[in-house]
Amino acid sequence: RGLGKTWAYTCLALKSLVYNSFSSYDTMVDALFEPLFWLVDRLTRWFGLVFVALVVGLTSCVVVVGYVCVLPAILAEYGPAVSAALILVSNWFLIMIVFHYYKGLTTSPGYPPPGQVDLPAVSICKRCIAPKPPRTHHCSICNRCILKMDHHCPWLNNCVGNYNHRYFFSFCLYMSMGCAFTSITLSRTYFRTHAPSQVAPSHSPLKLLSPASTTAEPEKREDHVHNSIVFVWVLTSTVSVVLGALTLWHAALISRGETSVERHINRKERARLHKKGKVFKNPYHFGSLSNWKQFFGVKHRRHWLTRVLLPSGHAPQGNGLVWLPPDDWVAAHRHGPSVT
């Protein structure tokens, strides 16, 4: 009996030392998994360099194979006129992909100004112990607050935020479209050369690539060409499907005026208000067309060409700190440059 009282007193004394009225089950679980989160964040930061090298390496490989192996096959398959058009479109895709990937990789996503106490804040970041402006969230990998944070992209080894969101989406868009274009263009060549053991007809692009095809060396070269074309076709087909799905997902978010982080927040808020019989309204939804104009920085019709279809390094509208209500933004956009 005395031992039981001693044990109960010991437990009570221990609880009195560590008790926190603000603690909860979620807080306890978060604290227990903190070492695991720390490890994942560090690995993600390191693997980001690997992913960047992978993107650069695979893209360079496709370009080299395209000029060395695919281009002669295209010339033999489609003729000079159609081939010239295909080459022009392919190089346009390549320029857009390289430009937007480089800008997304090197452009800062945007951070709240340090030491500025008069920021338009909606909360305090518990990690930075600093004001958090609207749409700002803390990235545990970068260990900083990011303006209009969408997510941390390991393929860019960078956060996607206010100042590089457009570059990230444009890279995904043109990469998926470029891969789909390449896959469709190569389909005829791929399906006609999918069996390297078979003897290709005299008019086959692979035969035309090897003038002295009666010797063993040209046949070996022909197999290398075949394998290279198959590699490019499989790679571009896979990327076009996977990255295309991701691009459509982000396009839907942009149409609704949301980021990836805000989607989860808005979904919970929508469910919470629904239980109270209220309707949630996204304060950053300007209408689908206005959302896209704001996202791409389109203020005039010519901007659809100069800022969307051509490489453009223009800054996003506003500073990522102040966001006007939808009606105010539309009115300001009609009468002049917007601050958001």
Q: Which residue has the higher pLDDT, 120 or 179?
A: 179
* Residues whose CB falls within 8 Å of the CB of residue 89, separated by 6 or more in sequence, listed in order: 181
How many CB atoms lie under 10 A from the CB of residue 30?
11
User: Are the CB atoms for 34 and 140 separated by under 8 Å?
Assistant: no
- Residue pLDDT, tens place only, 237-257: 999 999 999 999 999 999 999
- Separate counts of helices (H) and strands (E) for the chain: 12, 6
* Residues whose CB falls within 8 Å of the CB of residue 316, separated by 6 or more in sequence, listed in order: 162, 163, 165, 166, 297
Using CB atoms within 10 A of its CB, is residue 72 exposed (0-12), middle (13-18) or buried (19+)?
A: middle
Mean pLDDT of 300-328: 87
Cα(10)–Cα(299) distance, rounded to whole angstroms? 69
Strand partners, 123: 132
User: What share of the chain has pLDDT > 90, as a percent?
Assistant: 52
Q: Which residue has the higher pLDDT, 237 or 218?
A: 237
Beta strands in the chain (DSSP E): 123-125, 130-132, 137-139, 144-146, 151-153, 158-160
Joined together, the tokens standing for residue 294 give 């704001």
Mean pLDDT of 271-286: 91
| The pLDDT value given to residue 227 | 87
Cα(257)–Cα(331) distance, rounded to whole angstroms? 17
In degrees, to the nearest 5, what angle opens at C-alpha 68 toward C-alphas 175 and 86?
Answer: 50
Q: Say yes or no to pLDDT of 168 above 50.
A: yes
| The pLDDT value given to residue 85 | 95
Q: Say yes or no to pLDDT of 97 above 50.
A: yes
- Residue pLDDT, tens place only, 142-157: 889 999 999 999 999 9
How many CB atoms lie under 10 A from the CB of residue 147?
25
In total, the chain counts a number of residues equal to 340
Query: If you average pLDDT over every residue of the chain, what do you get?
Result: 83
Catalytic positions, please?
A: 153
